[in-house]
Amino acid sequence: MKARKAAVAVLTDAQFLVPFLVAIAGAALLVFLH
């Protein structure tokens, strides 16, 4: 699978949203707590 096609498949994968959003929330929480 070509890298570009793979990137699109990952970014449109609903399962990817869960860890991605938790990682963003975790980073925001760290900045807030700091």
Partner 1 sequence: MAIIVDKHTKPGLSLHGLGVICGLTAAVWLGAAEAPTKLVTAGFSPFAISSAMVCGVFLSRWTFPTLLKGTAYVFADLADKKHLIIWALLAGVLWAEGNTLTVFAIRDVGLTVAFPLWNANSLIGLLWGRVLFCELKGANRSNIAKVVLGALAIALAAIMLGFSTVHAGVGQHAMRGVIAAIGAAFCFGTMYVPYRKAYLSGMNPLSFVTAFTVGELTTVLALTLALDHGMHSSAIQLFHQPGLLFWLFLGGCMWVVGDLFQQFAAKYVGIGRGIPLSNTNQLWGLAWGALVFGELAGASHERMLMVIGGSAVMILGALAISTAVASEQEQHATDEVVMRECERYELDHQKVVLSQQGDELDRGAGARRWWDYVIVFVSTAIFIWLGVRAVVPPLQMNLHWLAVLTGILLLALAAGAYYLGKRTHFE
Q: Alpha-carbon distance 12 to 8, whole Å? A: 6
Q: Alpha-carbon distance 11 to 34, whole Å? A: 30
In angstroms, the first-to-last Cα distance of the chain is 41
Least separation in angstroms between CB 27 and partner 1: 6
Which residues from 3-22 bind partner 1, rule CB under 8 A? 3, 6-7, 9-10, 13, 15-16, 18-20, 22
Residues that bind partner 1 (CB under 8 A): 1, 3, 6-7, 9-10, 13, 15-16, 18-20, 22-23, 25-27, 29-30, 33-34
